[in-house]
Structure 1
Amino acid sequence: MTKRWWEGGCVYQIYPRSFQDSDGDGVGDLSGIARRLDHLVDLGVDAVWLSPVYPSPMADFGYDVADYRDIDPMFGTLADFDALIAAVHQRGLKLLMDFVPNHSSDRHPWFVESRSSRASPKRDWYIWRDPAPGGGPPNNWTSDFGGSAWEYDGPSDQYYLHAFLKEQPDLNWRNPDVRAAMLDAMRFWLDRGVDGFRIDVLWHIVKAAGLPDNPLNPDYHPTMGEKFKVLQLHSTDQPETHEIIREMRRIADSYDGGDERVLIGEIFLPLPRLMAYYGNESDGVHLPFNFQLVESDWHAEAIARFILDYEAALPAHGWPNWVTGSHDAKRMAARVGEAQARVAAMLLLTLRGTPTLYQGDEIGIGEVTIPPDQLKDPRELREPGLGLGRDPSRTPMAWDASLNGGFSEGTPWLPLHSDWQSRNVEAQLGDTGSMLHLYRRLLRLRRGHPALSIGECADVRASGDVLSYDRHHEGEHMRIILNLSGRDQPLPVDVTGFRPLLTTIADGQPVSPAGGLRADEGLLLIMDGRT
């Protein structure tokens, strides 16, 4: 096993507000995370990624940062964070922070100073422009949360740019002082021992010089959300972004001999443009996030094509990665149902590359209905009725059948899933056919079989509703066959010489696949003669 830890490992995303509350205020915190670390060890993951825990007014629940070098009191203190890092490392896990470089909070001292006057020494730390010649915003750019990307500031008679909420003004990365301050913030956390970063909306951080209008989207329809009125040609994915990534990579590589700290970039782009973020062997992000399984239709042919196209597009030094859920995406069990969510678990954890598992998916949390008076997500509140709200993916974790699922002794900030009394970690630990046991078995097999963790992927094919592929490493040969339908299916590939190791069917008993696949069944097989 010569791969770096993040190539053979599995990342687990924690949404800190919803993982474990330790003080009864209804919001999760760092001490709560520390209390539940053994769950992650038993699950079999290798690293923890924390969504933002910086000081924030919480207009976008932590993605509006008011101080890049501290912890919000809601989550604890720097001492609590240091204790968490120590506890994570003591258990042999890694800890990744969420870094938010595109924008700060409008309450950040930098922006307060920038907004104070056109003559402010920090005016150019953000992107300010005069109104258009006829009045109104400087260009036609749209916010990803709806409406114009420009907010008018009356006292200075200028607009500032915000790709998201008006409370999240975009930083000006063309200013060398901004760049230096943000890179120093990365060093601050690396010096404290974090093992890397997931970098938020990385492809947004540089804008085209001159800020020209974006082209109109000829396929726009109001149901898509106002973000899609224009094509983000000039407001994202600029060549200068890669210069900044090179600096970030040099910093990461300066720690621990250059092989231990990892940079994961959030980048929503088509494959050819996504691949550019790998850079050369030592100057890109290690893992530009691959969201194809989050965005795709659940069809064998489409997924096979994604796998093949992705593998073909990777640069020689590039390592793949896969994700099926996040704090921004609809949960897999809500998308495809619980039976197929079990198949999705096998897909995620047997594909070549680094998987990222989102909290709660290991117990199969599905659709969660949020009453209108309890909605919190600003995206839903700004564009209601379009199904863009992210609250259902951010609801609290259920640990047992006690009050509020063991998450909090107070009123949770969002309601739990309706079946939390039966769908919780403790209940599933006692049920060998549960989703949790399936994840634990898959992760154990992945850890114990190099073919699954670092091996090659071959013979990817789709036959009707069945997806199959092989994994190889040093004589070990495994075959994965996934039925993406609710009907029994014939086997599309030869299994002579293979024996089953694991099925996704809840009885947990793999049977001889000679008779075909059962409805909603994923099978993991190994060439006979291997253990």
Structure 2
Amino acid sequence: MPLDAGHDWWRSAVIYQVYPRSFADANGDGVGDLPGITSRLPYLADLGVDAIWISPFYPSAHEDGGYDITDFTGVDPIFGSLADVDALIAAAKKIGLRVLLDLVPNHTSRHHPWFVASRASRSAARRNWYIWADPAKDGGPPNNWRAVTGGSAWTFDASTGQYYLHSFFAAQPDLNWRNPNVREAMAGVMRFWLDRGIDGFRVDMIDYLLKDEALRDEPLDENGWYDQPLAKYQLNQRGVVDIMRSLRRVVDGYAGARILLGEVESRLPIDVLVRYYGTAGQLDVLHLPFNFWLLFLPWQSAALERFITDYDGAVPEGAAPNWVLGNHDVPRPATRLGAAQARAAMVLLLTLRGAPVVYYGDELGMPNVPIPPERIQDPWSAALPGGGRDPARTPMRWTRGPNAGFCPEHAMPWLPVGDELEAINVEDQRHDPGSMLALTKALLALRRACPALRGGNLRCLQGPPGAVVFSRVHDDERFLVAINTTAAPVEVPLPAGTSGIVRISSAMDRTGTCTTLPLRAHEACVLEWIPRS
């Protein structure tokens, strides 16, 4: 079967995440919107990605950046209308881009009509759509579960005398996925958007969907703490896989290979992570569970090589790995790793086996932008001091002009665009053959042209200390990728009897044939690997 078979498009797809508030402002109010995204689709097609995933644009109380949704089948007026969604989907399909939307099944806004009805009384018809519990004997929360955003995961509702569960902010009560009415309602939400022609969903925080029915306390360590990704009762209950299978059946009911890309806890152990594929021969859960480990592993060759080998080997036969280097919740690679390392990391991301996700602006090397106190938007800044996510959500930089071309000069962008506009913007980098944008485009073009990089086997090879080295092979096509994770030069020998043609260097200044590969500080190279005649 060809590597690029239409129904398997997702196996090696490059998915580009768009944060709609920050991508492009079409109506001049300083906030990105759906028509703005539509206007920039040709840029994404030219970049060479296969699909876009659009973060939530649904009606919201805006108490958590749009993830507190009041209507799963609408569009918040700040982003546009349903007609704008339809126009975006049609325009994307016309130029060969697939469209994924965010599905947020774990919780709603406290202002969602479902929760308003649930909160009305203990006997309300929708009471069991959410998770309610009596106080503990001391009058406090029912158990010791913590919210991701800090503090107890329970809030007391004085009007009904019970607590409701919220894995995130109190403004985001958790739905009760043990209730079949909730499952059918969310399946209806999916069908609403699938009927409009989308290609699938990125599903938010799936491992939180089921909680222990007895609401047992989490076992605590000697410090009175528990590690959330490893929580025994609050998340990762076995039944979540069955829920995902039911959602998979919804998308499988549509023609055209619609997919589910699922978000799980960021540091989930590999054996738990790969459960969300299903099993070899029965890959009927998620098409792609998010693998966030590149966001948190140290930028060190030993740690990277060990994880790449273990994870690639644990993915069930017939499934595809997933890789993520940046997103809307973590510092950008250019800030987290450094500018040169971010270039090398992009080489790594786009040459590993499977389906990578590129966060908007990372193809330019956009850094985090400091946010003055008076401009802070993210409630996490108050809940988790130092944990604010605004610096990684700032407007896309299209030009070096006013407001970086994100919105008109007369408008105030919803977050600052930052400095360094002369070097880090689309317009200038398009004309610079050594730019981060040029590197990303070259990698995507090579990936698209070469079956070995799209879907070939991966094997880590022995390299010198400080270097990650692996091969990608499909039939007679062979590539070698070498990444120097250190600030000192290293030399990578090629296997005896072979030589390499440098196809891409992260510095975008090297070509030629070699039998040994000297790597400069923080440099990465992609070589076509050939036997010597």
* TM-score > 0.5, shorter chain as reference: yes
- Whether contact under 8 Å (2:494, 2:515) holds in the other structure is no
CA contact (8 A) 1:433 1:508 kept: no
Q: Within 2, Cα distance between the matches of 1:298 and 1:73? A: 42
Shift of 1:466: 0.6
Which consecutive residues of structure 1, in runs of 5 or more, have no partner in the other structure? 222-226
Mapped to 1, the partners of 2:285 and 2:151 lie a distance apart of 33
Is it true that 1:299 corresponds to 2:300 in the alignment?
Answer: yes
| Structure 2, unpaired ranges of 5+ | none
- 1:296-346 deviation per Cα after TM superposition (whole angstroms, max 9, x unaligned): 000011000001100221111321111101101111111111111110010
* Structure-2 residue corresponding to 1:26: 30
Residue number among 104, 112, 118 corresponding to 1:108 in the alignment: 112
Which residue type is aligned with residue 504 of structure 2?
A: L
Quote how far apart the aligned CAs of 1:43 are: 0.5
Deviation of 1:527 after TM superposition, in Å, equals 2.6
d(CA) in 2 for partners of 1:376, 1:219: 33
AA partner of residue 271 (structure 1): I
Whole-angstrom CA distance in 1 between matches of 2:228 and 2:312: 32
Write the mapping of 1:245-284 to structure 2, written as runs, cut at 5 A: 245-256=244-255, 260-268=257-265, 269-280=268-279, 281-284=282-285
Q: CA deviation at 1:413?
A: 1.0
CA separation of 1:220/1:359 partners in 2, compared to 1, >3 Å: closer, same or farther?
Answer: farther
Aligned to 1:356: 357
Number of aligned residue pairs:
521
Pairwise CA distance, 1:513: 6.5
Task: Find the counterpart in structure 1 of residue 322 from structure 2.
Answer: 321
Which residue number in structure 2 is paired with residue 370 of structure 1? 371
AA paired with 2:258?
R
When residues 511 and 395 of structure 1 are mapped into structure 2, their CA distance, relative to the original with a 3 A threshold, is: farther
Structure 2 residue 155 is matched with structure 1 residue 147: no
8 Å contact 1:145–1:379 — kept in the other structure?
A: yes
Cα distance, 1:492 vs. partner? 4.3
- Amino acid corresponding to residue 500 of structure 1 in structure 2: V
CA 1:513–1:78 in structure 2 vs 1: closer, same or farther (change >3 Å)?
farther
Displacement of 1:217 in angstroms is 3.9
In 1, Cα distance between equivalents of 2:310 and 2:222 = 26
Question: Residues 94-493 of structure 1 correspond to what in structure 2 (within 5 A)?
Answer: 94-218=98-222, 228=227, 232-256=231-255, 260-268=257-265, 269-280=268-279, 281-384=282-385, 387-409=386-408, 410-493=411-494
1-structure distance, mates of 2:44, 2:107: 31
Residue identity opposite 2:299 in structure 1? W
Partner of 1:45: 49
User: For each residue in 1:407-459, what CA deviation from the matched residue of structure 2 results, as whole angstroms up to 9, or x when unmatched?
Assistant: 01211111113212431000100111000000000000000000000111124
Deviation at 1:59, TM superposition (A): 0.7
Which string of whole-angstrom CA distances, capped at 9 and with x for unpartnered residues, describes residues 151-174 of structure 1? 111111111100001110000011
TM-score scaled by length of structure 2: 0.95
Q: 1:284 to 1:462 in 2, by over 3 A?
A: farther
**Residue pair 1:466, 1:492 contacting (<8 A) in 2 also:** no
TM-score computed with the length of structure 1 as normaliser: 0.95
Deviation at 1:230, TM superposition (A): 9.8
Shift of 1:368: 1.8
Q: Is the 8 A contact 1:217 1:230 kept in 2?
A: no
- In 2 relative to 1, CA 408–508 (structure 1 residues): closer, same or farther, beyond 3 Å? farther
Which sits farther off after the overlay, 229-238 or 243-252? 229-238
Q: Retained in 1: the 8 A contact 2:499–2:516?
A: no
Question: Are the aligned partners of 1:217 and 1:229 in contact in 2 as well (CA < 8 Å)?
Answer: no
1:360-393: CA deviations, max 9, x gaps?
A: 0000012321112222221221121xx3221111
Instruction: Give yes or no for contact 2:309–2:460 (8 Å, CA) kept in 1.
Output: no
1:304/1:461 contact within 8 Å kept: no
